[in-house]
Amino acid sequence: MYKNQLQELAQRSCFNLPSYTCIREGPDHAPRFKASVNFNGEIFESPSYCTTLRQAEHAAAEVALNVLSTRGPSRSLTARVLDETGIYKNLLQETAHRAGLNLPVYTTVRSGPGHVPIFTCTVELAGMNFTGEPAKTKKQAEKNAAIAAWSALKRMPNLDSLTNKETDKPEEQDQAIVARVLSNFRAKDDNRNNNARRRDQSQARRRVVCRSHRDNCSAASSTLWELFTVSTTSEAASIC
C-alpha cells in the first residue's frame, strides 16, 4: 500500500521511481530485515527491523510519506496521494473499533463566500479533537482531519514508550500499537457515556415529577372550582 502510494507520488512529481535497499540479519530460520528508500535523492529508513522484506520496505515507504506530507513543496500533493482512497479515515475507524471506543465523529464548519466555500473539519476520537487543514470540499476536509488525527496519534508519548518496549516484536503494526494506547481511554469514554446517560435519566425523572405536580395542581384547582360552584349554587338557592 505505502510503496504504491510513494511510487504514484514520484510519478506525479516527475521524479525517478523510489529505489529500496535492505539489510538482513539473524539466523536463516528467523531473519530480520530493515529497509531504506531513496526518494528523489533523500533517504528514509524503516524505524525498526521487520520479519519480512516486504514489511520493511512498506515501513520505509510509510516514513517517507509521513515526512513528505508535513514539509516541502510536495506537501499538498503527498496529502492528496495519501488520502485519495480515504486510507486515514478507514484507519481511524478500524483503530477505534479495535480499541473498543466510539467511532470518530467529524464536525465540519463552512466559511468564505458562497461561490468559493472553505471547509474546516475537526474529528473527535477518545475525547481528543484534531483539526485538519482547510479544503475546498467537505469530503476533503474530513480526510485532512483524519490525516491530522493519525499523525498526532502516532506522536503520542505513550506510543513512543510502548514502541521502545516492543522493538523485539517487529510484527507489531502501528495500528495495533495505537489501538492499544487508545484502549486506555476507553474507561474515560465509558464514564462520559454513563454520566450522560445518568444525566438524561435524571432530567427525564424531573420532567415526570414536574408533570405529576402540574397534574396534581390542575386536579386540585378543578376540585376547588367544583366546591366553589356547589357552594355558590347552594347560597343562591337559600336566598330564593
Measure the CA angle with vertex 6, ends 5 and 7; round to 5°.
Answer: 90
CA dist 92 and 150 (Å) reads: 7
- Report residue 25 as a C-alpha cell: 540479519
Answer whether residue 112 shows pLDDT above 50.
yes
Answer whether residue 65 shows pLDDT above 70.
yes
Mean of per-residue pLDDT scores for the chain = 77
By CB atoms closer than 10 A (0-12, 13-18, 19+), residue 159 is: middle
- Report residue 32 as a C-alpha cell: 530480520
Give the neighbor-by-neighbor strand order of the sheet with 19-25: 19-25, 32-39, 42-45
pLDDT of 176 reads 75
Answer whether residue 170 shows pLDDT above 50.
no
Question: Against a cut of 0.75, is the pTM above it?
Answer: no
pLDDT of 44 reads 94
Q: Which residue has the higher pLDDT, 237 or 98?
A: 98
| pLDDT, tens digit, 9 for 90 and up, residues 128-140 | 999 998 988 898 8
State the DSSP string of 130-156: EE---BSSHHHHHHHHHHHHHHHHHT-
The whole-number average pLDDT for the span 31-56 is: 92
Residue 42, phi then psi, degrees to nearest 5: -110, 135
Answer whether residue 95 shows pLDDT above 90.
no
CA dist 172 and 53 (Å) reads: 15
pLDDT band at 172 (very low <50, low <70, confident <90, very high): very low
pLDDT of 171 reads 36
Domain architecture of the chain: domains with CATH: 1-83 (3.30.160.20), 86-196 (3.30.160.20)
* Range of weakest confidence among 11-15, 23-27, 56-60, 85-89: 85-89
The whole-number average pLDDT for the span 78-99 is: 76
Kind of pairing between the strands at 128-131 and 118-125: antiparallel
